[in-house]
Amino acid sequence: MENTSLNNTNKKKKFSFKKEERLCSKKVIDKLFAEGETFLVFPLKFVYLKSGLPPEFTIQAGFSVGKKIFKNAVQRNLIKRKMREVYRLNKNVLYQNAGEKQLALFIIFIGKTIPEYKQVDEAMQKGLKKLIKETSEDKKMIQ
């Protein structure tokens, strides 16, 4: 009995998106946008930078939706909620291939209309695969 409850908690932990995994540091975000590299998988734009983050979580992610296109906060929050959910479910691929690399990641929605969940899911999966491919080559390493 105890074994199954332990397995269930491990499964839940696997798909969580905790506070420590969220990119909150103003210094890291400023450095990310100043020195980071970008690529586009429509309707998502990925900005990433290899950095010296706390060792507990090797990857920290942030999400954004432009206020210029989506004036209502309700719409922006809906899109960010979809993006976070899709990231939460697909981040395992990124963690498995990241190894010891520490990565700051910011995902920006650049579409003009509110997306369907499936559209965000497909773009996120393609983007994470591309991110793995680009970070496997040592391009930038900062401390």
CATH code for residues 18-136 = 3.30.230.10
Q: What is the DSSP letter of 13?
A: H
- In the three-class reduction of DSSP (H, G, I as helix; E, B as strand; rest coil), residue 140 is classed as coil
- What is the Cα–Cα distance from 59 to 7, expressed in whole angstroms? 24
Confidence of residue 101 (pLDDT cuts 50, 70, 90): confident
- For residue 14, the model assigns a pLDDT of 67
Q: pLDDT for 13-72, tens place per residue?
A: 468 888 888 998 898 899 999 999 999 999 999 999 987 665 667 889 999 999 999 999
pLDDT average, residue stretch 112-141: 87
The confidence score (pLDDT) of residue 76 equals: 97
Cα of first residue to Cα of last residue in the chain, in angstroms, is 46
- The amino acid present at 19, given as its one-letter code, is K
Q: Is the pTM of this model over 0.85?
A: no
